[in-house]
C-alpha cells in the first residue's frame, strides 16, 4: 500500500520541474522574445521596403494586383544605374560626407573644450553653464533657421556647403558637451591632481590623460554628430539652392520628384545607399556608444 501511494508522489515530483521549466520558457517568450521580435520587425521593415523597391521594375511597382508588393519577381538594377549615372547622386553623396565630417570635427573640438572646462576646472556656476548649454539643444531648428539664414547671407555663404559646416555645430555642440560632461565625471580627479603636482599644464593633462581615457565618449559623440549632420534636412533645404551642392536627404526629395511624378525606384535606392554609411558606423561602434551614454547618466 505504501509503495502504491509513493509512486504518484514521485511522478508528481518529476513532473513539477518540467511544468516550472515550461512556465518559465513561456513567460520568457511572452515577456522578452515576442516584444523584441515585434520591435525588430517594425525597426527593420523600412529598410526591407527600400531594398525591394530599389530592385523592382516599374511594372511591379505600379501593379499590385498582378505582383506581390512584399516580394520581387524580376529584380533589376535600372533604378540604381539611373541614380548613379543619370543624376548627380555621387556629387550629393560627396557633399553630404564633406559636410558631416567637417561639422563633426568642429563640434568635437568645441564640445571637448567646453565639457572639460565645465567639469574639471570647477569654477563658480559651472553646473548652470552646462545646463544652459544643454537647454540650447532643445530649441527647435525650425525656429532658428530664419535668423541663421540672415547671418549666412550676410557672410556670403548662401548656397555653399561651408554654410552647413558652420551652422550644424549650433545644435551638435550642446548635446555633445552634455554627453562628454557625463563621461568626464567617470574619470578620477586624482589622475589630474597628480599631473598638476608634477607640473603639467591643463592642456597637457587634457591631451595626455583625459582624452585617451575618454575615447569611448569621443567616439559616441562623433557618431551622434555624424549621424545628425548626415540626416539633417531643414538647414540643408533653406541654405542650399543649386542642385549640385545639395545633400542627399534634400536632393533625393527635390531632384527625383518632377511635378507630381515620384521616381519611387530611384528614391528608395538613394535612401538605401544614403543610410548605409550611418548603419555601418553604428554597427562598428555601438559598444562605445552604449558605454558613453552609461557614463553620462550614471551620476
Per-10-residue mean pLDDT, the chain, length 299: 51 55 72 84 87 87 80 86 89 93 93 87 77 80 85 90 92 88 82 83 85 85 89 91 89 83 86 85 72 51
Quick one: 215 and 256 in the same domain? yes
Query: In total, how many domains does the chain have?
Result: 2
Task: Residue 33: give the domain boundaries.
Answer: 2-61
Residue 39, in any domain of the structure: yes
Residue 72, in any domain of the structure: no
Quick one: 55 and 104 in the same domain? no
Quick one: 269 and 174 in the same domain? yes
Each residue of 92-127: pLDDT tens digit?
A: 999 999 999 999 999 999 999 988 888 888 777 777
Quick one: 151 and 240 in the same domain? yes
Quick one: 134 and 214 in the same domain? yes
Residue 207, in any domain of the structure: yes
- The reported pTM is 0.80
Quick one: 57 and 111 in the same domain? no
Domain boundary among 36, 61, 86: 61
Quick one: 56 and 84 in the same domain? no
Residue 244, in any domain of the structure: yes
Each residue of 246-295: pLDDT tens digit?
A: 999 999 888 888 777 788 888 888 888 888 888 887 777 777 666 655 55
CA–CA gap between residue 260 and residue 280 (Å, rounded): 34
Quick one: 36 and 153 in the same domain? no
Quick one: 171 and 38 in the same domain? no
Quick one: 84 and 114 in the same domain? yes
Amino acid at each position: 500500500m505504501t509503495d502504491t501511494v509513493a509512486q504518484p508522489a514521485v511522478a508528481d515530483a518529476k513532473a513539477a520541474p518540467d511544468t516550472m521549466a515550461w512556465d518559465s520558457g513561456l513567460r520568457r517568450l511572452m515577456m522578452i522574445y515576442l516584444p523584441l521580435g515585434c520591435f525588430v520587425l517594425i525597426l527593420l521593415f523600412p529598410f526591407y521596403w527600400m531594398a525591394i523597391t530599389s530592385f523592382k521594375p516599374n511594372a511591379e511597382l505600379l501593379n499590385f494586383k498582378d505582383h506581390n508588393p512584399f516580394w520581387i519577381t524580376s529584380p533589376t538594377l535600372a533604378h540604381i544605374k539611373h541614380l548613379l549615372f543619370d543624376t548627380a547622386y555621387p556629387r550629393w553623396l560627396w557633399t553630404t560626407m564633406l559636410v558631416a565630417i567637417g561639422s563633426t570635427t568642429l563640434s568635437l573640438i568645441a564640445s571637448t573644450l567646453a565639457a572639460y572646462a565645465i567639469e574639471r576646472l570647477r569654477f563658480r556656476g559651472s553646473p548652470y553653464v552646462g545646463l544652459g548649454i544643454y537647454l540650447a539643444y532643445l530649441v527647435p531648428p525650425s525656429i532658428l533657421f530664419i535668423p541663421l539664414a540672415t547671418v549666412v547671407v550676410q557672410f556670403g555663404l548662401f548656397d555653399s556647403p561651408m554654410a552647413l559646416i558652420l551652422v550644424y555645430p549650433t545644435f551638435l555642440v550642446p548635446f555633445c558637451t552634455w554627453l562628454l560632461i557625463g563621461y568626464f565625471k567617470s574619470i578620477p580627479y586624482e589622475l589630474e591632481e597628480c599631473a598638476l603636482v608634477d607640473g603639467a599644464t591643463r592642456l597637457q593633462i587634457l591631451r595626455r590623460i583625459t582624452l585617451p581615457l575618454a575615447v569611448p565618449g569621443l567616439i559616441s559623440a562623433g557618431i551622434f554628430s555624424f549621424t545628425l549632420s548626415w540626416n539633417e534636412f531643414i538647414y540643408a533645404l533653406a541654405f542650399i539652392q543649386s542642385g549640385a551642392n545639395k545633400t542627399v536627404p534634400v536632393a533625393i526629395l527635390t531632384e527625383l520628384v518632377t511635378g507630381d511624378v515620384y521616381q519611387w525606384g530611384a528614391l528608395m535606392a538613394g535612401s538605401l545607399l544614403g543610410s548605409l554609411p550611418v548603419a555601418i558606423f553604428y554597427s562598428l561602434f555601438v559598444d562605445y556608444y552604449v558605454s558613453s551614454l552609461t557614463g553620462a547618466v550614471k551620476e
